């Protein structure tokens, strides 16, 4: 909040949240529209779930050892005594909705998307907020490695459509429940040997889930983690085969990627493929989007054996590196004089709006000169003049502000001029 703001400090927006104001919101709208157009080409449909969910959904879904669940959830007890959480991510909500509505019994493919707010109580900094927005993409019941590659290709296409360049695609496989235990065991042994060099949180993670050490941002822990055994060396035949296929499909798409064996991503549910697209333009929080496969979530929720695959893209991070010039709106400003002029202006505005013209009639600005001044300031494309003479004749003056020309005509004549110019 700026120094001159008259409102009380206690009424300022919550730390880590932000308002998206007119001026910036048009960029969000343009990005959202482009995203929707693109993902719908891949057969995705929007699925809207509630912002609040039972806390257990994330404990079970996102995972009890993840930082998101252990440290970052906005959790409260509601008046009915139930533990509620503001969703920190969307994947568990998608899985829950599928099971609850048995979407798996419908014939259409289970491909869903959503754009909306998520909540994590983390330390706010550039690119990291407490309320942030994600595009979430999920596809269910596709075991084939081709779908892992297809969602990476879709993410790539999305960034290209939006004109985002200079990104890097990182891929990895984190194995499955068959091969990961052996890896975790070895990882635990290695981490145990360097316990003193790890931060206290990572020391705790050794016993709970040593894989989570890779999520730590502390330099010392990162140095150690870089020397830990690589999960890619522990993959079972099935996971190795799957990963090889994913890479071969990425090659088919001619997508440049780097295999990054430490990419385990912060959530507990991933199996086999994980990936991230990072951008050097984002600063420390360089992950633009990330995701992967999760074959066990539905089963763990007590549902059928349906695998999942998806990614989430951070909208704030995306918007911060976009170069979109939203289309400039063409506004018709209706200048009026006196009560009869005002009444006519109201009627005319209704007529023009119903014919698709954006109109503005203001009531506090008196006099034509002042209203012209306002129209100029607002960058109106046209001004329609509604004075006594005009009302009597039923002919109005339309000024084209860019050309400086003025035309007289009936409302219908002038509408035609505006419509012809709008195209």
Is residue 58 a contact residue for ligand AMP (CB under 6 A)? no
Which residue number, 216 or 359, has a Cβ lying nearer to ligand AMP?
216
Classify strands 331-336 and 382-386 as parallel, antiparallel or unpaired.
parallel
Kindly tell me which residue out of 290, 308, 310, 341 binds ligand AMP, with binding defined by CB under 6 A: 290
- Cα(216)–Cα(172) distance, rounded to whole angstroms? 18
Q: Does 175 bind ligand AMP (CB under 6 A)?
A: no
Antiparallel, parallel or unpaired: β 83-86 and 258-259: unpaired
The span of 29-37, 286-294, 300-308, 385-393 binding ligand AMP (CB under 6 A) equals 286-294
Minimum distance from CB of 259 to ligand AMP (Å)?
Answer: 19
Q: How far is the CB of 106 from ligand AMP (least distance, A)?
A: 27
**What is the number of the residue whose Cβ is closest to ligand AMP?**
314
Please report how the helices 145-161 and 25-41 are oriented relative to each other, as an axis angle in degrees rounded to 10. Answer: 140
Which residue blocks in 114-236 are alpha helix, DSSP H?
145-161, 180-193, 200-208, 219-226
Number of residues counted as binding ligand AMP (CB under 6 A): 18
212 binds ligand AMP (CB under 6 A): no
- 224 within 8 A of 198, measured Cβ to Cβ: yes
Angle at 170 between CA 33 and CA 159, to 5 degrees: 20
Q: At what angle do helices 338-354 and 411-422 cross, to 10 degrees?
A: 50
> Could you tell me the smallest distance in angstroms from the CB atom of residue 225 to ligand AMP?
18
User: Looking at 53, 59, 89, 390, which residue binds ligand AMP (CB under 6 A)?
Assistant: 89
Applying the rule CB under 6 A, the residues between 130 and 169 that interact with ligand AMP are: 132, 134
Instruction: Provide the pairing of β-strand 358-360 with 331-336.
Output: parallel
Shortest separation between residue 93's beta carbon and ligand AMP, angstroms: 12
Which residues, 342 to 381, sit near ligand AMP by CB under 6 A?
A: none
Shortest separation between residue 399's beta carbon and ligand AMP, angstroms: 46
DSSP code per residue over 259-308: E-TT---S-TT--SEEEEEEEGGGTTS-EEEEEEEESSHHHHTTS-S--E
* Nearer residue to ligand AMP within complex by CB, 180 or 317: 317
Residue 258 CA to residue 246 CA, distance in Å, equals: 13
Q: Least distance in Å: CB of 169 to ligand AMP?
A: 13
Residues of span 301-320 touching ligand AMP by CB under 6 A: 312, 314, 316-317
CA 59 from chain centre, in angstroms, equals 23
Binders in 106-125 for ligand AMP, by CB under 6 A: 120, 122
CA 134 to CA 118: how far, in whole Å?
7
Chain contacts with ligand AMP (rule: CB under 6 A)? 89, 120, 122, 127-129, 132, 134, 265-266, 287-290, 312, 314, 316-317
């Amino acid at each position: 909040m700026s120094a001159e703001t008259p409102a009380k400090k206690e009424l300022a927006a919550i730390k880590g949240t932000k308002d998206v104001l007119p001026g910036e919101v048009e960029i969000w709208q343009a990005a959202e529209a482009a995203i929707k157009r693109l993902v719908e080409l891949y057969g995705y449909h929007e699925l809207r779930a509630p912002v609040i969910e039972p806390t257990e959904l994330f404990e079970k879904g996102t995972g009890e050892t993840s930082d998101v669940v252990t440290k970052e959830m906005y959790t409260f007890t509601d008046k009915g005594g139930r533990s509620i959480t503001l969703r920190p991510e969307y994947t568990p909500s998608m899985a829950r909705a599928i099971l609850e509505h048995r979407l798996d019994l419908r014939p259409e493919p289970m491909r869903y998307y959503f754009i909306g707010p998520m909540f994590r109580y983390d330390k706010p900094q550039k690119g990291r907020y407490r309320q942030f927005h994600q595009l979430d993409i999920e596809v269910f019941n596709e075991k084939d490695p081709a779908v892992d590659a297809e969602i990476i290709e879709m993410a790539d296409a999305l960034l290209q459509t939006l004109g985002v360049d200079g990104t890097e695609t990182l891929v990895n496989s984190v194995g499955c429940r068959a091969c990961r235990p052996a890896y975790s065991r070895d990882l635990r042994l290695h981490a145990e040997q360097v316990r003193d060099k790890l931060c206290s949180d990572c020391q705790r993670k050794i016993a709970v889930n040593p894989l989570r050490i890779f999520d730590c941002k502390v330099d010392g822990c990162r140095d150690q983690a870089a020397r830990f055994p690589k999960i890619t060396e522990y993959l079972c035949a099935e996971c190795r085969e799957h990963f090889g296929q994913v890479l071969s499909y990425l090659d088919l798409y001619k997508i440049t990627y780097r295999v990054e064996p430490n990419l385990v991503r912060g959530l507990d549910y991933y199996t086999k493929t994980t990936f991230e697209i990072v951008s050097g333009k984002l600063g420390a929080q360089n992950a633009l989007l990330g995701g992967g496969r999760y074959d066990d979530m539905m089963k763990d929720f007590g549902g059928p054996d349906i695998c999942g695959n998806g990614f989430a893209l951070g909208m704030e991070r995306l918007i911060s590196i976009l170069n979109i010039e939203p289309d400039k709106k063409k506004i018709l400003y209706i200048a009026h004089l006196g009560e009869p002029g005002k009444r006519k202006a109201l009627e005319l505005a209704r007529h023009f709006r119903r014919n698709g013209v954006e109109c503005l009639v203001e009531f506090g600005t008196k006099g034509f000169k002042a209203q012209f001044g306002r129209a100029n300031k607002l960058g109106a494309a046209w001004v329609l003049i509604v004075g006594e003479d005009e009302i009597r004749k039923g002919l109005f003056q339309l000024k084209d502000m860019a050309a400086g020309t003025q035309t007289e005509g009936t409302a219908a004549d002038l509408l035609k001029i505006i419509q012809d110019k709008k195209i």
